[in-house]
Structure 1
Amino acid sequence: MNAFWVRGGKLVFPCRVRTGDVLIADGSILALGEQAYATGIQNLLVPDLYVAPGFIDLQVNGGAGHNFEDATPREIRKIVDFYVSHGTTGLLPTTVTAPIAEIRETISRVKEANRPAVLGMHIEGPFISNERKGAQNPEHILDPSVEKFNELVEGHEGFIKIVTLAPERPGANQLITRVREIGAVPSLGHSDATYEQALAAIERGIGLFTHMFNAMREFHHRAPGAVGAALDSDVYVELICDGIHVHPAAVRLVARAKGVDRICLVTDAFSATGLPDGEYSLGGLPVFVRGGVARLPDGTLAGSTLTMDRAVKNFMEFTGCSLPEAVRCASLNPARLLGIDDRKGSLEVGKDADLVIFDEDLTVHYTILGGEVVYERRKAM
């Protein structure tokens, strides 16, 4: 049995923090709390550090100099390992709008990279709205089509976890049904849906709103839009908490309106994350990063340079919520959305030993993935 203790840390549970120990064996959490220490078992001593479930990022386009859309398997491993060093133990590589053949090639390369932190794929487009395309390439936007979708996912059905689409477009009803049939979550995003259309889409099966507020119809007191529908329902919403994509006050209002159990923190990060300001690209479009903010030449926001550890810290600062609440938005909530909370998302006996260990400033000191220490602050392992 490959076993070791994580000792003396502050354990972050969904509703509280308690000092204790974690026994890890064969990739799982075997015991929690104050335990009698067995002889012959190694100890990882983490006094004054927090021990939390690893973060799960539902939307990430790239990082460390590469985008998933055109990265080689080796470069994909580099991207994933970069986010693991920031406490992410589960992520969905995200494709932007592109020709179907190119999206399929990306999926195949991600599979070939074979990183344990990869939980599947998020397909963001091409079935989106021209009016709310954001930083998506308009040349490759398609009308929602079950036939085209089947072509895109053939052979990869179980690997697709989220599909972002515009539910107001013709053919979207059938596509929502088909996405559900393959076990994925249909998500409203890059959509010009009205309040009424968005509510109807939720009734049909939309389970998530992709990067809430961004690339969707805004709230107005006489026309609440898609934002109003999200606030007026129990659908999950993604939030990019970099202080740029969504004003801190708006983040705070969402937390008050929906409660923290329906919020999933995401990065929507791309190749520039972890690198200096400069010129990059996303989906074949030029992106300029200044002061860590990524924009197209016309000023449109184009992804972020955020990491999940910073997202958790920002969410706490923006909302005044507790550490367990913020961690829940980055772990248990996305795990529940994906239907994997029976094995991931919280510190519970029997669940996967995917942990992040950080200090008061949310600086990551260790990442444990599948019961193995895969990142240590003093050195990457």
Structure 2
Amino acid sequence: MTVVTKYFNCNVLTDGQILPKDLWVEDGRIVDPDIIFYDLRKSPDVEIDCLGSLVAPGFIDLQINGAFGVDFTHSCGEGLDIVRKGLLQYGVTGFCPTIVTTSESSYHKVLPKLKRCAGDELGAAILGAHVEGPFISEHKLGAHNITNTKTLEQTSMTDTYGSLENISIVTMAPELEGSMAAIKMLAEKGIVVSVGHTSADMYTGLKAVENGAKFITHLFNAMLPFHHRDPGIVGLIASSPSDNRQMYFGLIADGIHTHPAALKIAHKINPKGLVLVTDAISVAGLSDGIHHLADKQIELKNSKAYIADTNTLCGSTTSLDECLRCFINATDCSVPEAIEAVTLHPAQVLGIENVKGTLNFGADADFVLLGNNLNVLSTWIGGQCVYKNKKGSGFVVKKN
């Protein structure tokens, strides 16, 4: 027997607008109330008063290396469930666990554990792994270990990763020998290719896009700076591929990795391609001290993470909902635009926008109730509440 739930007294983000309307859910999916109420003559089994909350699709993070003391590259195992559960408090209902450049044996050990799974009361959905490396430029390493970088002349992707089965996104430098053929192969398999950790010029970047690349990893970070005669990879956000495909790009809006002016420029140039990511690492949610990112020691001090004994930033400690608020403050963009950068756009990158990142009819009933300051009041997966804020959940259940 199916249960029909009506969520009322809410403001719902739909098609780029926030509208006062009801939300109806049946069998874990958003449904058309006209079909339920008028055609089938069925009243809701449960009514939930959302107390005027903003209802937005569940957030999606395409780049997160770990959190709560768990580093996906260094020690995944049971820690994956800790992160899945912990992310619910930030409104995240789906994510791509990210593996930085590591050894072949580590890829073979970790990637089989990152199987796609649906979200539930145990945590957010795993939407496939994001492998950031090892096919990256030795000149734009960031926090990656140069001893583990590779070229496609040295090894194949299958040998490196063991299998492509659990991978959704591959970050690679398009200037490396053999990259174009690899980009084309991955794109044909439905794997998203993201250009990043690269010294490529714009011409090489455009060639990568023509071969199937569709995403840019943490724009402005670990790539050549913008130059007016050769904009580099940054220039791709203003490009128009020959087949008119949308170019997407990740931005770390944590107030540290990307200057507010850079955030504003990126938003003005290509708002439809903008995707907010955390690039969070194991220290997210922890206190200052020494921790791990893959095989490197990192130091957390004053909410900033550095490779130990250096001044090199190595990932963010900020949650996705905080990035959302940071981005709005920096760009003065509309709330719907900002929310789509953590919902619709990342879903479009993965090609799952029919079921995730939206509250259209037929989509999964994954959503978040937000307060006046866009603070997370409660998180819902398949129409079931999986997280409540202790200061107020934003809803009251009324069973019929």
Task: Calculate the TM-score normalised by the size of structure 2.
Answer: 0.89
Instruction: Confirm or deny: 8 A CA contact 2:74 2:293 kept in the other structure.
Output: no
Counterpart in the other structure of 2:191: 184
Hey, what's the Cα distance between the residues in 2 that align with 1:360 and 1:231?
34
Counterpart in the other structure of 2:335: 323
Q: Quick check: 52-61 or 288-297, which moved more?
A: 288-297
Shift of 1:221: 2.0
Shift of 1:202: 1.6
Shift of 1:340: 0.5
Hey, what's the Cα distance between the residues in 2 that align with 1:54 and 1:62?
19
Instruction: Confirm or deny: 8 A CA contact 2:366 2:383 kept in the other structure.
Output: yes
Counterpart in the other structure of 1:123: 131
Shift of 1:378: 2.2
Amino acid at match of 1:8: N
Structure 2: give runs of 5+ residues left out of the alignment: 241-245, 394-400
Counterpart in the other structure of 1:263: 274
Alpha carbons of structure 1 residues 27 and 182: separation in structure 2 relative to 1, 3 Å: same
Decide which of 243, 246, 266 is 1:254's aligned counterpart.
266
Q: Per-residue displacement from partner, 1:310-340 (whole Å, max 9, x unpaired)?
A: 1111111111111111111111111111110
Counterpart in the other structure of 2:398: none
Shift of 1:153: 4.5
Alpha carbons of structure 1 residues 2 and 68: separation in structure 2 relative to 1, 3 Å: farther
Hey, what's the Cα distance between the residues in 1 that align with 2:392 and 2:141?
38
Shift of 1:199: 1.8
Hey, what's the Cα distance between the residues in 1 that align with 2:134 and 2:374?
36
Q: CA RMSD of the aligned region, Å? A: 2.3
Counterpart in the other structure of 2:227: 220
Q: Does 1:100 align with 2:104?
A: yes
1:137-176 alignment runs, 5 A limit: 137-144=145-152, 148-157=156-165, 159-176=166-183
Count of equivalent residues: 378
SS at match of 1:127: coil
Counterpart in the other structure of 1:332: 344
SS at match of 1:273: coil
Q: Does 1:273 align with 2:281?
A: no
Shift of 1:369: 1.1
Q: Percent identity?
A: 35
Hey, what's the Cα distance between the residues in 2 that align with 1:245 and 1:219?
16
Q: Does 1:50 align with 2:47?
A: no
Hey, what's the Cα distance between the residues in 2 that align with 1:378 and 1:31?
32
Q: Per-residue displacement from partner, 1:284-327 (whole Å, max 9, x unpaired)?
A: 11211222111113211101012111111111111111111111
Instruction: Confirm or deny: 8 A CA contact 1:145 1:175 kept in the other structure.
Output: no
Hey, what's the Cα distance between the residues in 2 that align with 1:153 and 1:370?
32
Alpha carbons of structure 1 residues 371 and 152: separation in structure 2 relative to 1, 3 Å: farther
Alpha carbons of structure 1 residues 32 and 375: separation in structure 2 relative to 1, 3 Å: farther
Counterpart in the other structure of 2:314: 302
Q: Quick check: 331-340 or 199-208, which moved more?
A: 199-208
Instruction: Confirm or deny: 8 A CA contact 1:54 1:90 kept in the other structure.
Output: yes
Hey, what's the Cα distance between the residues in 2 that align with 1:90 and 1:70?
21
Amino acid at match of 1:301: L
Hey, what's the Cα distance between the residues in 2 that align with 1:185 and 1:145?
21
Shift of 1:114: 7.3
Q: Per-residue displacement from partner, 1:254-294 (whole Å, max 9, x unpaired)?
A: 11111x21111100001111112222110211211222111
SS at match of 1:111: coil
Hey, what's the Cα distance between the residues in 2 that align with 1:168 and 1:32?
52
Instruction: Confirm or deny: 8 A CA contact 1:352 1:370 kept in the other structure.
Output: yes
